[in-house]
Structure 1
Amino acid sequence: MKTPKILLVDDVDYSRQLLRNNIQALSDTGLLTHTTFSFFNAGTAADAKVLFTLHQPHIVFLDIELPDSSGLELLAQFKQTRPQCRVVMISGASTLENVTRSIQMGAETFIVKPFSGEKILSAMRLLEKKQDYDLALDMP
């Protein structure tokens, strides 16, 4: 089984670290199917685009509010380029419009900041339940 690649996109370094630490802790305690992950971090949309193209992640945690672009615009680009990629939107601005639009545009789910281990676990388990989760790992 391949190691899932996860791209963490948030302009706040602490948020990226919190996501990574929570995912790794959930994995270490056996709550997730996979035991290891490769993580990539981006603080801007420009960096996210480069890392997305370079590493072709299986999962993206994507903040809606980035300093140089909208996360929703990135979501559209990512899903067009790599439809099998699973995107989890994150934001402190959990308006009904943001949530609805994210899901309509192809996000798997939406996590409201501040996020907890429970919210991250729920999102990761949802991704694991998707029929093509493991198939996406076999994609180049």
Structure 2
Amino acid sequence: MSKRILVVDDAAFMRMMIKDILTKNGYEVVAEAADGLQAIEQYKEHKPDLVTMDITMPEMDGIHSLKEIKKVNPNAKVIMCSAMGQQAMVIDAIQAGAKDFIVKPFQADRVIEAISKTLG
């Protein structure tokens, strides 16, 4: 059975890129969200196997959203996505429970490596 993934990014173009990489590699994108609040709603509704989460978003940022998702499911698997040079945020994300971190612009093989490693 293909693994179900929730893609969270405020940029539709980025969501499309990740979705494309995932579907080409046999993953199923069950939902998308454009901000942290939507991410929590979509997580509760779809219960995905994994979430790719942008850090910088309107309404609620990725780290806050990650913490909320962890309250819903302490075993949630979340991989953070962010632009270069946000090391402090990366550390915050890992401390908040993120499983891995992908840097934008995305390299398809790095995305797949992070996801397959996180999903086991």
Q: Does TM, normalized by the shorter one, top 0.5?
A: yes
Give the residue type in structure 1 aligned to 2:110. Answer: K
- Do 2:81 and 2:101's aligned partners in 1 also have CA atoms closer than 8 Å? yes
In our comparison, the structure showing a higher alpha carbon Rg is 1
Q: Aligned residue for 1:114?
A: 105
Structure 1 residue 38 displacement after superposition? 4.1
Alignment of 1:1-140 (within 5 A): 1=1, 3-27=2-26, 36-129=27-120
CA distance in structure 2 between the aligned counterparts of 1:95 and 1:44, rounded to whole angstroms:
18
Structure 1 residue 80 displacement after superposition? 1.7
The alpha-carbon distance between structure 1 residues 121 and 4, as it changes in their structure 2 partners (threshold 3 A), is closer
Partner-residue secondary structure (3-state), 2:59:
coil
CA distance in structure 2 between the aligned counterparts of 1:18 and 1:105, rounded to whole angstroms:
26
Q: TM-score, length-normalised on structure 1?
A: 0.78
Q: TM-score, length-normalised on structure 2?
A: 0.90
Percentage identity across paired residues of the two chains = 28
Unaligned runs of 5+ in 2: none
Q: Aligned residue for 1:136?
A: none
Unaligned runs of 5+ in 1: 28-35, 130-140
Q: Cα RMSD between the aligned structures?
A: 1.5
Structure 1 residue 128 displacement after superposition? 3.0
1:79-130 Cα shifts (integer Å, max 9, x gaps): 121122210000115422111111111101011111110111111221232x
CA distance in structure 2 between the aligned counterparts of 1:96 and 1:38, rounded to whole angstroms:
28
Runs of 4+ in 1 over 6 A off after TM superposition: none
CA distance in structure 2 between the aligned counterparts of 1:44 and 1:128, rounded to whole angstroms:
23
Count of residues paired in the alignment: 120
Partner-residue secondary structure (3-state), 1:7:
strand
The alpha-carbon distance between structure 1 residues 91 and 38, as it changes in their structure 2 partners (threshold 3 A), is closer
CA distance in structure 2 between the aligned counterparts of 1:5 and 1:122, rounded to whole angstroms:
16
1:49-105 Cα shifts (integer Å, max 9, x gaps): 211111111100000011111110001111121122210000115422111111111
- Do 2:22 and 2:29's aligned partners in 1 also have CA atoms closer than 8 Å? no
